[in-house]
Structure 1
Amino acid sequence: MFTMSPGRRYRLAAGSLALLAAVLLIVDLGLGVHYNKLTDSHLTLDDTERISKELVVLQDTYKTAVETMKDARKQLDSEMSRQTQTNWELEHQTKRSNDYKSQMEKITKEIETTRSRLSMISDGCKHCPAGWILMNSVCYYFPLKSNIMKTWKESRDFCQLQGGDLIIIDSQDKENLTVNFLINHQDASEPPTGFWIGLSDSEEEGTWKWLDGTFLVQGYWNDGEPNNQDNEDCAAVYPIVNFFKA
């Protein structure tokens, strides 16, 4: 037993068909010449019997040739079908390879981003500007001692002048850390001060979105909020012990 490539089997099948056609053509020409010679002479009984036998042999040969050609055609069709499936598989594997390549590129970028933060994490807050704190590998600034009240827009402008933006609290851990920091660093004798965060529904009433364009998934609203009182469009965080309502 041995195997061969689809291209080689295809060439063998085509060659077999061509060879059979040539054999039939040669036999036909030979019989034509033979019978032309016989037309000029008187046929005997032996000649008739011999011709009958030759016709039987020729018919058998023809039938065999036809069956062989049918088998060759079936083999050719089978090879063509296999070639089509091979092309489909090649297309499928190429797509998988491209998908893996895209995933590798994404993972590589994430690794590089993580590496860039390692020094900040290992060395602590000295990589943050004075007065800023480090949480979740990001520097944050809370003007705890300031008595100046700002609007949401004014607060964001101030943050952007410092090279940052209003805080995005898009996870339970960030919410808990932020609220606990405010509780531990504000004067307990003073009324709790809230801070604007990067969340608003100014684009579409009732649809809350973070500044990075993502929609609010889980809100830690205080009782009765949001109520749109006085056409409120912006959110703030407060030092409330139950941070699920902060």
Structure 2
Amino acid sequence: MEDGEDFGGVSDRSYNKLVSQEEPTPEEQEFFANQGKQKVSMSLMRPESSCNHYQRLTFLAVFAIILLAVDIGLGVHYNKLTSGQRFLTDMNNELDKLQTSYNAATQRKTEANKLLAKETSEQQLAKWELEHQSRKIKDYAKLTDEIRLQTAGLKAHMPMIKEGCRHCLPGWTFMCSRCYFFALSDDLLNRPWHAARQFCMKHGGDLAAVDTREKHLAMIELVNIYHDSSRSFYQSGFWIGLRDVEQEGTWKWLDGKRLAGSYWNDGEPNNQGNEDCAAMYPRSNPFKSWNDASCTHALKWVCEMTPNTAS
């Protein structure tokens, strides 16, 4: 126990000695006193101040995050707007290019339409001219055929003219042992049936009596050759000496003989408008060449007379 006490005493003396040796100055004592007060003050205020400070830091952090998010959003939105603006600008540029191309294409189309219209007009004109030339060629071919036919008729008619010089008056044709006059000249205007008969009687004959097949075929051949093709069909007939004035439907020649063989066209005679006189018309079918007509109608005519005795 003594040892312990000694140890304790020695210790206390040593500590007191150390303390006494490091005893602070008045300034240090004042400093330590103030530090002690601050520690006490801080120890008294720490829990509540720490909580408020943490809340403020948290609020500031959240607010900063919100500001950052807003800033990021605004940046993204601005980038989108900028991209959209650039896109609109590019689109406007493309539209301008397309509009320019469209205008150029429209101009080319207009010019092409004008050229097409001109070409179409020229083509139509050429088509009409071709049709005109084709008609002329057909007319020339028809005229050539008519001239050829007339030439052949004249060649066939030459012997009859030669014989007519011996047996008939000038201008009359000798055939089938009779003399015939065809009123073909333009100087001899169309006449009614009675006026045509008076012409024939004045020259020593009468309207022709076509009372045999041979006479009919010879006469219709000359009518077909020499008729005026420019006249209408109803103006191209030739009066013959046949009528039914005494009794309708009873046709007689001028010498009083009743008609035996006839060459009426289909549906003729039909007596439309009191048609009592007969006429011969140019037809390709010689067996359908007669029509009845009004005696007052003006036509050409065929005269017949007895030939002179040959010397």
Higher relative contact order (CA 8 A, sep 6+): 2
TM-score of the superposed pair, with normalisation by structure 1: 0.48
Mark the structure with the bigger radius of gyration.
Answer: 2
